[in-house]
A and B are shown apart, each in its own frame.
Chain A
Amino acid sequence: ELKVEQNPLFLSMQEGKNYTIYCNYSTTSDRLYWYRQDPGKSLESLFVLLSNGAVKQEGRLMASLDTKARLSTLHITAAVHDLSATYFCAVDMGSGGGADGLTFGKGTHLIIQP
């Protein structure tokens, strides 16, 4: 059974600081997603990482994937209050012939204080 673990689960940080959220998964996969969720809202797709060594950046967020280590990171640079949200990583184990759903981590609740 695929397990996806995020850490930390809760993170309070000040504006302007840098921090990294980690996502470990237990079984080989070549497809990993990062989502953002605001309270009471749906999930907003941030990044899709499709290969080992993939790195994607959007504004103050940068995501990377190391399939050999089964690790993805979401790095926040010079955090601003608007980035406060819950961030989920999700791993796709589907092979086209079996389970095609995503397995999600528990999420990292990020609070950025002015």
Chain B
Amino acid sequence: NAGVMQNPRHLVRRRGQEARLRCSPMKGHSHVYWYRQLPEEGLKFMVYLQKENIIDESGMPKERFSAEFPKEGPSILRIQQVVRGDSAAYFCASSRQGRTEAFFGQGTRLTVV
């Protein structure tokens, strides 16, 4: 049973480009969460999605960031016009239901140059 799969593991973007981060949840999990981790910090909640629905996006920056979890395929976190401050590790987690234990992927480390 594969765990939460994120790709790419490392992503380098120039300022102003777009970054797309993908997350495939564990088999049987329909709840996906995205978190951002800055160096030497804990993880900050960004968004919680179920299939085709955004449940809670209270942690998402209002501009340039968006997330989706389509009926088919992985969840996508999209960052438009990246800036240096977007450099961080982005982790995806999935759970079978809401408020049940979530399992984390390996993360995507985004570097904006």
Contacts and interface: CB of A to CB of B under 8 A. Distances in A.
B14 to A, nearest CB: 23
B32 to A, nearest CB: 11
Contacts, number: 63
Contact of B98 (A40, A42, A94): A94
Given A43-B91, A94-B98, A104-B43, A99 B48 contact: yes
B99 A107 contact: no
B45 interface: yes
B27 interface: no
B104 A43 contact: yes
A95 to B, nearest CB: 8
A40 B103 CA distance: 17
Contacts of B104: 35, 42-43, 45
Nearest to A99: B56
Interface string B26-62: 0000010101000011111111100000011011000
A45 B26 CA distance: 15
25 contacts: A4-B42, A31-B99, A35-B104, A42-B104, A42-B105, A43-B43, A45-B101, A48-B101, A88-B42, A94-B98, A98-B56, A99-B48, A100-B33, A100-B55, A100-B98, A100-B99, A101-B46, A102-B35, A102-B45, A102-B102, A103-B45, A104-B44, A106-B40, A106-B41, A106-B42
Interface of A: 4, 31, 33, 35, 40-43, 45, 48, 88, 90, 92, 94, 96, 98-107
